[in-house]
Amino acid sequence: MENVVIIGTGCAGLTAAIYTARANLAPVVLTGTMPGGLLTTTSIVENFPGFPDGVDGYELMTRMQQQAERFGAKVKFATVDAADLSGDTVKLTVDGEPLETRTLIIATGAGHRHLGLESEKLLDKKGVTYCATCDGALPMFRNQPLVVVGGGDSACEEATYLTRFASTVYLVHRRDTLRASKIMADRTLAHPKIKPVWDSVVEEVLDVKQDKVTGVRVKNVKTDASSVINCAGLFVAIGHVPNTQLFKGQLAMDENGYLLRKEGSQTNVKGVFVAGDCSDHVYRQAVTAAGMGCAAAIDAERYLASLNR
Ligand code: NAP
């Protein structure tokens, strides 16, 4: 029987791991399929306190893991298949094996939202991608026009990053103002290679017949006019969906699947705590996720102490 199992190794999970490890609770930390979480797919993180020149996202997460392991966290590359939260302890199935724990910290984060188009699905990894830092430098995108969809910080970050490789980056947004923070929006719109396409949505990714991206058909939502933008790649950056499917029917969640907290990081099930983007659609920052991970660790520690009273 474990004292603490943490699902997720983003900022929330690894901060919870650092705190519970330092409390001598020897947490088991399960990475899932994306060790380090979404931050590993970003380039330079400029707003994490303590790094005046920014820090590479992958490096930040690697350092956090090393810090947790130094105090005794056991990080395992493993995926949770099932979770039974109905008893006094939590029973997990991890890569087919049972794992029982007195407390569980869920820090499963969120994945990329998709446009939901059939052509998007069919051309996934054939020019459609959700991560500029992962794929932007591929030869197929070099010196080609590229399209980014979205109006938030992610879309601005992706568009700016892609200017290193693309001939032109079209930023397709469904409204005529960006949601992104002012500093990011200003930087993006001032870039000579970035061309905003306002009030527009992608209707179809071309060309399924050729089995590669050759363009996108966009519709102006104000005029209903359709047009084609020729491009070699489509980078979708329209937000995220929480990774909480595993807990459907067992944990309280809102209509979008974000886990609800009762008090502090406590869920509606005793001994089960949440942290980070799987429970936060408001702030969604690396530093707030880390703060939530810290809170969940302290709550788990106090809960374990209360069991022995
Ligand atoms: P976001 O802020 O939720 O923005 C999503 C964007 O996609 C919005 O502009 C939205 O349009 C658009 N959108 C949503 N669904 C769409 C659909 N079906 N079709 C077309 N467009 C759609 O998400 P995000 O940009 O990923 O940012 C998430 C959080 O991470 C934010 O808190 C952000 O500040 C943070 N972040 C920070 C940094 C940084 O500081 N370096 C970098 C990346 C992300 P509307 O505007 O019309 O709703």
Percent of all residues in the chain with a pLDDT value above 90, rounded to a whole number:
90
Task: Single out the residue of 65, 63, 26, 61 nearest to residue 42, CA to CA.
Answer: 61
CB of 256 shorter than 6 A to ligand 1: no
Per-residue CA distances from 56 to 34, 63, 90, 173, 305 (Å): 17, 11, 35, 27, 37
The β-bridge partners of 276 are none
Instruction: Band the pLDDT of 33: cuts 50, 70, 90.
Output: confident
- What mean pLDDT is reported for the chain? 96
User: Using one digit for the tens of pLDDT, what is the confidence trace for 262-276?
Assistant: 999 999 999 999 999
Average pLDDT over residues 137-166: 96
Contact 169, 156 (CB under 8 A): no
The pLDDT score that the predictor gives to residue 309 is 67
Measure 240 CA to ligand 1 centroid, in angstroms: 8
Query: How many CB atoms sit inside 10 A of residue 196's CB?
Result: 17
Amino acid in position 279: S
Q: Would you say residue 133 has pLDDT above 90?
A: no
The pLDDT score that the predictor gives to residue 25 is 97
User: Using one digit for the tens of pLDDT, what is the confidence trace for 83-118?
Assistant: 999 999 999 999 999 999 999 999 999 999 999 999
- For ligand 1, mutation pick of 238, 240, 281, 287 (most atoms within 8 Å of CB): 238
Q: Would you say residue 254 has pLDDT above 90?
A: yes
CB of 284 shorter than 6 A to ligand 1: yes
Instruction: Band the pLDDT of 47: cuts 50, 70, 90.
Output: confident
The pLDDT score that the predictor gives to residue 41 is 75
Q: Would you say residue 43 has pLDDT above 90?
A: no
Domain ranges of the chain: 2-111+240-307, 114-236
Tokens of 53: 């020149």
CB of 153 shorter than 6 A to ligand 1: yes
Catalytic residue among 81, 134, 211, 254: 134
The pLDDT score that the predictor gives to residue 38 is 84
Which atom of ligand 1 lies nearest, measured to the CA of 175? 47
Instruction: Band the pLDDT of 49: cuts 50, 70, 90.
Output: very high
Architecture of the structural domain at 114-236: 3-Layer(bba) Sandwich (3.50)
The pLDDT score that the predictor gives to residue 284 is 85
Q: Full-prediction pTM beyond 0.75?
A: yes
Which atom of ligand 1 lies nearest, measured to the CA of 46? 41
- Out of 3.40.50.720, 3.40.50.11780, 3.40.50.300, 3.50.50.60, which CATH number does the structure's domain 2-111+240-307 have? 3.50.50.60
DSSP letter for 284, please. Answer: -
Domains 2-111+240-307 and 114-236 share a fold: yes
Task: Single out the residue of 309, 306, 305, 303 nearest to residue 103, CA to CA.
Answer: 303
Contact 219, 203 (CB under 8 A): yes
Per-residue CA distances from 210 to 124, 127, 142, 235 (Å): 13, 11, 19, 19
